[in-house]
Structure 1
Amino acid sequence: MTDRPTASSAGAPVRAIAYYLPQFHPIPENDAWWGRGFTEWTSVTRAKPLFEGHYQPHLPTELGFYDLRLPEVRAAQAELAREHGIHGFCYYYYSFGTKRLLERPLLDMLESGNPDFPFCICWANESWSRRWDGSEAQVLIAQDDSPERYRQFIHEVLPILKDRRYIQVGGAPMLLVYRVGRMPDAAAVAAYWREQAEAAGLPGLYLCAVQSHDATFDPRRAGFDAAVEFPPSPWHGRKIDPRTLPGLDPDFTGTVFDYEDFVTHSLARSAPDYRLLRGVMMGWDNTARRGPASFLFHGATPRGYEAWLRGAVAWTAAHNPPDERVVFLNAWNEWAEGTHLEPDERHGRAWLEATQRALSRAEAWRGALEALRREGTIPPEVLRAHVEDLQHALERLERVESVSTASRGSFTEGVAPAFASKPLHLGGLTQLEFVQGRPPGGRIKLRDREPLKVSGWAVAPGLDLRGAPAFLVLRSPTGERIYSAPLGERTVRHDVAFQLRQLDPRSVCLAGFDVELATDALAPGEYKLGVVHASDKAAVAGFSEHRISVE
């Protein structure tokens, strides 16, 4: 897999990238600082509730108390993320000049080539101290903030940035820096990094300044391309008086924020005059690290998170050009900070399922309706997107209720003659709305040669769909097996034409399809699903992120 945007639920590439914490395996340094065998799970399992109804400890279910040194764990994480529409992981990268820490999961992934899942890195360029247990005094390992160290850093990570799976923006690797404010003469360092990247054969860098300690930081001050919003910074919104919480631990000295109020403030954020990549979080509760001195957000729910993420997606589609439509999720596995997409005992897969719905146009009405119900200001461009989501849901309901018959056919092995000899361009967009009668997950399993029933839309920029035959294509990951089937009768989709109104109307005029295809010819295996449109001179393909598994 190479990193490439795919059709999102809003009709434009919106890539959801989840922060990935690698501290789930023992290392000698943590053994010395915290005790032999320490991992993130050590803190997680010791957490205790601080008031009645306080959800602690957060305990995993499906993936268990895993060890990231195991390749099967990393593969299961990637598959779970892909299944729920997440585009890739952003690995925290801990490098201090003379030493790297927690690098093994990343390096093992690079060396093995697995999992085949997009990724990028965020350099966490700060010192480590004992703050996780409430003590601020002792520095465990210091960050080298010398100009020489920052210039050397790019040479250290160039091999990582060249990996075929590395996430790109405009063809350039996307590199995040957690604390740009620590960089001496940041603009000069950024210029040097770009120069060295180009000298190494890369087309440049897409540099992102994480707004971890300054929620209004302008990336242009540092010569960076974009800022990345990083909730819970800036810790705004209403605070809850902890004395109003029943059964409060008498030793509590922390701070309690209102999650719903924080979401309302975030949804109302106006667009700055610099490029901003939005961020959302499931919740935040670092009781596992700080005990009664914790910071936590009370009232976090998958429903509120879904509305927030859908609003961030709508904001992004309205303000950012296609290749910069990226939203960051905090986080995939920050268990000790109470914000994780991985399944747990209380919520199961609810956070993942909320993510999938918020990123899927077929289910976007849920987040839109929740956003419209809450109090607070909604920017006009986001409000328009929510109204369009609801209109789209009504149109889909009307289509389901109308009497229609899916086109029927069957797959045949090989490339269809209509596009076999034509140059193939990968500029199409394909969106699956229903597979086997329900909204699709990341991988769709077909058993006992059951027919494939799929409906959705597909467009081919640059082609006139009125005279371009279309084919549903299944392609194995290596390309050694290809099956194709005529797409049959296609329908006008006014909602798609409106969403993609920047394109030539002829390339989106007959976007809708609804087919039922016999699968007797398919060999067992996993396939990518796409649609190919063919004209007299060329063919345009668009592949969905969903995969078909034939068993």
Structure 2
Amino acid sequence: MAASNHPYEVAVYYFPQWHPDAKNEALRGEGWTEWPTLRAAKPLFPGHEQPKVPLWGELDESDPAVSEKQIAAAADHGVTSFIYDWYWDMGGGEGPFLHRALEDGFLQAGNRDRLRFGIMWANHNEVSRERFDAMADYLIIRYFNEPNFLKLDGKLYFSIYECHTLINGLGGVEAARDALASFRAKTREAGCGELHLNLVEWGLNERHRAIIGPDANALIRMLGIDSVTSYVWIHHAEPEAFPDAPYADCAAAAAALWPAFRDAYEVPYFPNATMGWDPGPRCAQDRPHVRGDYPYTPILTGNTPEAFARMLREMKDYLDRASGLDPKLFTVYAWNEWTEGGYLEPDTVHGLKYLEAIWDVFGA
């Protein structure tokens, strides 16, 4: 089992669109994954490093042998858990989406006990109370009794990406409170223990105030939220420069927000380390690159393994100074967000050097 006495919880987000899924196949053709999108990427400005090429090739993550390779590389370099981006009812009542990376890959891997895993519900779509309850039942049955599920203070870690979307779909803050209370009760009654409910800060920021209300802490208390974290720096530290911006500048802006978020919220805030940001592969490749809504955002340049290591040392210093933050958890963007430029998996330029940076700072 992954060591539970490690002084830091290095929790890395995992994006699971590197295996065929029935919904994707219905929309895009048999066997579709995101690998062709990465392969087709072109430089969008002089010096833009695209396409990124995975050193391991275009693997199917739903294969347990592939998961074993990923787990070994992660655990060998100081990663303690994967937090899976997890999807439900993406545009209909079809239930789970992109779940086979976890269910057929990770959970069937022979070395799965070397890492813990948690769930971040990537709720880009609204769901009704009926479908929320069905999701809760699925999570409880499929995951919550797994021995290596990520727990904080003995509680199952479940994160919600878009709090505002949850509230909208359920019909308001009070309805969301009732749904989450029911989720907690169901989990307890199933013998799985208690939930640790986490919100991603993206769903709490000012652009969503009309839905979540003027006081984020009042909402946190009402919903019974246990902690807040971030997914990626670009959500709250988007550079003004375009088309590219220095990674170091974005890192400094993001690090300045760690204590700001810590002080703003009444519950613990777990800071985020972002390896890179480059959604260029998801942009149109055949027209001028103009700033706009996602994915037409600034692209971070200069995110070398050395720059990543410098940021990780700053993260460690922050965690070491943070009184009362137990566990000393931080999230990392990301294991394999290849088409957004955030990945620890080895590429053909840097090999394992991003993972080696984690080991150099946190492994000992």
TM-score computed with the length of structure 2 as normaliser:
0.82
The answer on 1:357 being equivalent to 2:340 is no
- The structure 2 residue matched to 1:335, chosen from 335, 338, 341, is 338
C-alpha separation in 2, matches of 1:322 and 1:257: 32
Q: CA deviation at 1:31?
A: 2.3
- Residues 40-439 of structure 1 mapped to structure 2, 5 A cutoff: 40-61=34-55, 63-96=56-89, 97-108=93-104, 109-110=106-107, 114-116=111-113, 117-127=115-125, 143=126, 145-159=127-141, 160-183=143-166, 184=170, 185-215=175-205, 218=217, 219-236=220-237, 238-242=239-243, 256-269=244-257, 270=259, 271-272=262-263, 273-274=265-266, 275-291=268-284, 292=289, 294-295=296-297, 296-319=299-322, 321=324, 323-360=326-363
What is the match of residue 213 of structure 2? none
Which letter maps to 1:240? Answer: A
Q: What do residues 308-348 of structure 1 show as CA deviations (whole Å, max 9, x unaligned)?
A: 22222332333364643211111001111111000101221
Cα root mean square deviation, aligned = 2.2
Q: CA deviation at 1:149?
A: 2.3
Which letter maps to 2:147? Answer: R
- If asked which structure has higher relative contact order (CA below 8 Å, sep 6+), I would say 2
Change (3 A) 1:112 1:339: closer
Change (3 A) 1:155 1:317: farther
Which letter maps to 1:115? Answer: R
C-alpha separation in 2, matches of 1:103 and 1:238: 33
Which letter maps to 1:119? Answer: F
Q: What do residues 455-482 of structure 1 show as CA deviations (whole Å, max 9, x unaligned)?
A: xxxxxxxxxxxxxxxxxxxxxxxxxxxx
CA contact (8 A) 1:282 1:340 kept: yes
Which letter maps to 2:102? Answer: L
Which letter maps to 1:110? Answer: L
Q: Please give the secondary structure, in 2, of the residue aligned with 1:263.
A: helix
C-alpha separation in 1, matches of 2:58 and 2:9: 28
C-alpha separation in 2, matches of 1:113 and 1:210: 31
- The structure 2 residue matched to 1:33, chosen from 10, 15, 27, is 27
Q: CA deviation at 1:215?
A: 4.6
CA contact (8 A) 1:49 1:56 kept: yes
Q: CA deviation at 1:99?
A: 2.3
C-alpha separation in 2, matches of 1:278 and 1:348: 26
CA contact (8 A) 1:215 1:234 kept: no
C-alpha separation in 1, matches of 2:250 and 2:273: 11
TM-score computed with the length of structure 1 as normaliser:
0.56
Q: Percent identity over the alignment? A: 30
Q: CA deviation at 1:102?
A: 1.4
Q: CA deviation at 1:266?
A: 1.8
C-alpha separation in 1, matches of 2:192 and 2:165: 26
What is the match of residue 4 of structure 2? 5
Change (3 A) 1:347 1:213: farther
Change (3 A) 1:345 1:220: farther
- Residues 493-532 of structure 1 mapped to structure 2, 5 A cutoff: none
Q: CA deviation at 1:114?
A: 4.9
C-alpha separation in 1, matches of 2:232 and 2:205: 9
C-alpha separation in 2, matches of 1:148 and 1:77: 36
Q: What do residues 17-46 of structure 1 show as CA deviations (whole Å, max 9, x unaligned)?
A: 111111111223222322333211110000
Q: Which has the larger share of strand?
A: 1
CA contact (8 A) 1:306 1:355 kept: yes
CA contact (8 A) 2:236 2:254 kept: no
Which letter maps to 1:149? Answer: R
C-alpha separation in 1, matches of 2:305 and 2:109: 35
Q: CA deviation at 1:98?
A: 3.3
Which letter maps to 1:123? Answer: W
Q: Which has the larger share of helix?
A: 2
C-alpha separation in 1, matches of 2:133 and 2:23: 26
C-alpha separation in 1, matches of 2:61 and 2:134: 28
C-alpha separation in 2, matches of 1:207 and 1:317: 24
Change (3 A) 1:99 1:193: closer
CA contact (8 A) 2:237 2:254 kept: no
CA contact (8 A) 1:237 1:258 kept: no
C-alpha separation in 2, matches of 1:222 and 1:39: 36
Q: CA deviation at 1:4?
A: 4.7
Q: CA deviation at 1:241?
A: 4.2
Change (3 A) 1:223 1:45: same
CA contact (8 A) 1:227 1:277 kept: yes
C-alpha separation in 1, matches of 2:66 and 2:84: 15
